[in-house]
Structure 1
Amino acid sequence: MKEQFSEAFGNLVNKLQGWFNTTIEYIPNFILAIGVMVASYFAAKYVRKLVNKLVSKKVEQDSISNAISRVTAVVVVALGLFMALGVMNLGKALTSLLAGAGVVGLAIGLALQGTLANTFAGLLLSFRKKIRIGDWVETTGFSGEVMDINLKDFTLKEADNNIVIIPNKTILNNPLKNYSLTTKMRVFLECGVGYESDLEKVEQLTKSVIANTFDQVKSEDEVEFYYTEFGGSSINYLCRFWIDAESMLEKLNAKTKAIIEIKKAYDKEGINIPFPIRTLQFDNKLNVKAPDIQEVFSDN
């Protein structure tokens, strides 16, 4: 029993001595690993500021530039951690850490599939030069001014001041019309005049009114005018002209102004814009004369 105790005590002493020797041997590596981690920490702070500054020049949204800079900082710190583990010859721990990170990343990716899709879509939208805050766009049945593009959603303010929030992946997967990309918009104006009207006079007067109302229209030749059909109560026409505009509101204001001026000119010249008329024709003769009440009672 005494010999077994002495042997066990000797093994313990040898083990502690081995650990002590290993610790002494690895003190330089440990100090170097700590230095690597400290250096990676300060490098991450510097890289974060640098990336934030660079991304801010390309992206107007602070939330996205901050997110990108934070992710970059985390990557720098992770690289420092892996280098520190490598310096301490902890290859197995490094391999286990990478394997665990892969499994955790897969699980998180499956659980947050929709959120991650919106996040990456938000990053892509933010770097698109054809979509900017303040643009007037139309997509997925909604039209309005772009108020914000963040990592989760796309915010529009419609003409009636309602706020519409759309997931980023929906914007990325659907067509988007940006009115602000061009400096000109075409106004379409449809109207009808009475059958008794002088059609040539109507055409000349309409073109003249449009040319005198809008500075962008240099002459009457720039106004397109086409009669489209013999309507139920009027002869209908289509008038088209270009204006300098970058939003749908400017287009609506121009159309409103054109309608007002055309109505004034038509009233002055006696040109009729008829109401819709429906004529009812009865081919059979109806007996509207009521029977004599006394005759009805006398028959009874």
Structure 2
Amino acid sequence: MIPLFAQEIEMGEQLETAWEKLEKKLGGWVDSIIVNLPNFLLAILIFGVSFFLSNYINKFILKVLQRTKMQRSIKVMIAKIVSIVVIIVGLVLALGIMNLNKVLTTMLAGAGVAGLAVGLALQGTLSNTFSGIMLSIVDYIKIGDWIDTNGYSGEVVEINLRNTTIEQGDNNLVFIPNKLVVEGNLKNYSSRPIARVILSCGVGYESDLKLVEEITVNTIKENFKDINTEVQFYYTEFGDSSINFEVRFWIRSRDQMTLNIAKGKAIVLIKAAFDEHNINIPFPIRTINFSNPMSLEKKD
């Protein structure tokens, strides 16, 4: 059996050895901190500069984008992305100065995995977001245009990161996901300053066709003088009850509503001109023939 005194001596030696190792370890840390203190301070300085620089760049990007026709939500997002990139660059430089390349590699790997997971989870949302950015940059659609897309027609009142809002002629709002607008068919009535009105009609077979053409063309020319273009008139077919024709002319228009109003006005004017000259616009008539006519006489 080891005497109690000897056990106390052995325990004291172990504590002394452990203390020496702790002192040596702490001394190594202190020496490492002293040696790397300039790099540490420089890394903090670079990260702080990048943080304050990101705020300045954010305001500068917003100021520059104010000159464009992008939606404010798109402008804010672009400015934030640029500022975040500046902060990330500052963080990478700071970690490189402190020789923490392994930490940087681990962070980048973790960010990649997290980004992949988020991308898969928010695939539809991200698709609408990138589509919204595209719609804010391209020239074929902008706020105030009258468009026809995905079965809806109206004026574009907003393009945000999720959907495109159009105001229909009945004052109702329709919210269409940006992805559908980008990938679907889009008709922009406001892309051109003028639009063509196409009107179809028919006259009776007894009508003077040259007179019909003269009256129709003169009526359009006298009442639609904003654009000095030739009125196109031609007959299209021999119909069941009429000889059909089509007349085309141009007006100044950037929306479907103006086009509809002009077409309605032309119909009223042409009908009045035909009535004045006794030109008949026939409509289909159905005749029913009975093989065995019914007798109204009473049988005895």
Task: Settle same-fold status: TM greater than 0.5.
Answer: yes
2:136 is aligned with 1:126:
yes
Amino acid corresponding to residue 233 of structure 2 in structure 1: F
2:169 is aligned with 1:173:
no
Secondary structure, in 3 states, of the residue corresponding to 1:227? strand
Give 2:31's aligned residue: 21
Where does structure 1 differ by over 4 angstroms across 4 or more consecutive aligned residues? none
Q: CA deviation at 1:288?
A: 4.3
Residues in 2 aligned to 1:217 and 1:226: alpha-carbon distance in whole angstroms: 20
Residues in 1 aligned to 2:116 and 2:227: alpha-carbon distance in whole angstroms: 60
Of residues 62, 76, 81, the one that matches 1:71 is 81
Give 2:257's aligned residue: 249
CA contact (8 A) 1:122 1:168 kept: yes
2:103 is aligned with 1:93:
yes
2:173 is aligned with 1:163:
yes
CA contact (8 A) 2:196 2:250 kept: yes
Secondary structure, in 3 states, of the residue corresponding to 2:286? coil
Q: CA deviation at 1:183?
A: 1.6
CA contact (8 A) 1:217 1:241 kept: no
CA contact (8 A) 2:235 2:244 kept: yes
Q: 1:29 to 1:290 in 2, by over 3 A?
A: farther
Give 2:7's aligned residue: none
Structure 1 residues without counterparts, runs of 5 or longer: 293-300
Could you report, residue by residue, the CA deviation over 1:14-43 in whole angstroms, capped at 9, with x for unpaired residues? 111212222222222221111111100111
Residues in 2 aligned to 1:74 and 1:173: alpha-carbon distance in whole angstroms: 30
Could you report, residue by residue, the CA deviation over 1:94-151 in whole angstroms, capped at 9, with x for unpaired residues? 1111111111111111111111111111111111012111111112222211111111
CA contact (8 A) 1:189 1:239 kept: yes
Amino acid corresponding to residue 115 of structure 2 in structure 1: G
Secondary structure, in 3 states, of the residue corresponding to 2:67? helix
Of residues 264, 267, 272, the one that matches 2:275 is 267
CA contact (8 A) 1:137 1:145 kept: yes
Question: 1:42-81 counterparts in 2 under 5 A?
Answer: 42-81=52-91
Question: 1:107-122 counterparts in 2 under 5 A?
Answer: 107-122=117-132
Q: CA deviation at 1:217?
A: 5.0
CA contact (8 A) 1:211 1:217 kept: no
Of residues 148, 156, 160, the one that matches 1:138 is 148
Amino acid corresponding to residue 106 of structure 1 in structure 2: L
Residues in 2 aligned to 1:23 and 1:269: alpha-carbon distance in whole angstroms: 104
Residues in 1 aligned to 2:159 and 2:181: alpha-carbon distance in whole angstroms: 11
2:217 is aligned with 1:207:
yes
CA contact (8 A) 2:227 2:252 kept: no
CA contact (8 A) 1:59 1:65 kept: no
Residues in 2 aligned to 1:90 and 1:217: alpha-carbon distance in whole angstroms: 72
Residues in 2 aligned to 1:237 and 1:291: alpha-carbon distance in whole angstroms: 54
TM-score by length of 2: 0.91
Could you report, residue by residue, the CA deviation over 1:61-101 in whole angstroms, capped at 9, with x for unpaired residues? 11100100001111111111111111111111111111111
Give 2:239's aligned residue: 231
Residues in 1 aligned to 2:243 and 2:203: alpha-carbon distance in whole angstroms: 5
Structure 2 residues without counterparts, runs of 5 or longer: 1-10
2:164 is aligned with 1:154:
yes
Residues in 2 aligned to 1:72 and 1:83: alpha-carbon distance in whole angstroms: 17
Q: CA deviation at 1:232?
A: 3.0
Give 2:5's aligned residue: none
Amino acid corresponding to residue 230 of structure 1 in structure 2: F
Residues in 2 aligned to 1:74 and 1:63: alpha-carbon distance in whole angstroms: 16
- What is the aligned-residue identity percentage? 50
Aligned residues: 290
Q: CA deviation at 1:215?
A: 0.6
